[in-house]
Amino acid sequence: MSSGSKREREQRKKLQHFLTDLALLGSLQEVNCTLFLLAGYAKYGRPYAWIRSNHERLVNIGGTDSMVKDTPMKLKAITDWGSQGIRVWDVVSELVCLCTVPSPSNPFALDMRYLKNLPLPERFLVSGALLNFLETYAVYGNRDELHYDKVVEEVKSLRRLHVQTLSEVQRRPGRSTRPATPASGESSEEE
């Protein structure tokens, strides 16, 4: 047995466990919420998107749930991936617009109330991840998009929330309040 096929089987097994966990998460979501899995594979040179929950809102192909969940979606952004300079935010935007009627003026609009109500560790991680995503869009995205300026405004409020959350994380009980000091015999300055 080749190590390549063994590695592929191990990766498939890990992915299947991950997808099972996502399916469980999807079963907890609201009726008006659709959960997607967006994953990129270097081997295929493009991302793929799967519907993980509430697929009835988008497709009715008469197949089994597993057939719908195991079949990647056919999205224009994914089809155009290699030839049109498409980025991951184009895929996210297409998914949001696909699920929202009428299409939102800003597909990257955030529900700040939801973010503020997350438990502290989750709020810190989620705000940081979203901030990275939206800042990357602000730097590399198309400034001619109608929603570009709205995204830049979202980044400002999200950055404030993230910094505030970082401050709360640092003040949590049980955290050491002493700054880290160099080990004895080590200099804290570069020579």
**148 shares a domain with 90:** no
**87 shares a domain with 23:** yes
Q: Taking 80 as the threshold, does the pLDDT of residue 105 lie above it?
A: yes
Q: What is the pLDDT of residues 41-51, one digit of tens each?
A: 888 888 999 88
| Lowest pLDDT segment from 27-41, 42-56, 111-125 | 27-41
pLDDT of residue 181: 54
The domain boundary residue, chosen from 76, 103, 130: 103
Q: How many domains does the chain have?
A: 2
**142 shares a domain with 80:** no
Nearest-angstrom CA–CA distance, 150 and 107: 10
The domain boundary residue, chosen from 83, 103, 123: 103
Q: Taking 90 as the threshold, does the pLDDT of residue 163 lie above it?
A: yes
- Does 161 map to a domain? yes
pLDDT of residue 10: 76
Rounded to two decimals, what is the model's pTM?
0.69
**145 shares a domain with 95:** no
- Does 40 map to a domain? yes
- Does 130 map to a domain? yes
If one compares 164 and 102, the residue with the highest pLDDT of the two is: 164
Work out the mean pLDDT of the chain and round it to a whole number: 81
Q: Taking 90 as the threshold, does the pLDDT of residue 124 lie above it?
A: yes
- What is the residue range of 135's domain? 105-174
**144 shares a domain with 66:** no
Q: What is the pLDDT of residues 146-162, one digit of tens each?
A: 999 999 999 999 999 99
**145 shares a domain with 83:** no
**92 shares a domain with 114:** no
Nearest-angstrom CA–CA distance, 90 and 44: 18
**109 shares a domain with 90:** no
pLDDT of residue 108: 95
**87 shares a domain with 51:** yes
**44 shares a domain with 91:** yes
**96 shares a domain with 63:** yes
Nearest-angstrom CA–CA distance, 137 and 130: 10
Q: Taking 60 as the threshold, does the pLDDT of residue 182 lie above it?
A: no
**136 shares a domain with 77:** no
Q: What is the pLDDT of residues 58-104, one digit of tens each?
A: 665 555 566 666 788 889 999 999 888 899 999 999 999 988 888 89
- Does 45 map to a domain? yes
pLDDT of residue 64: 58
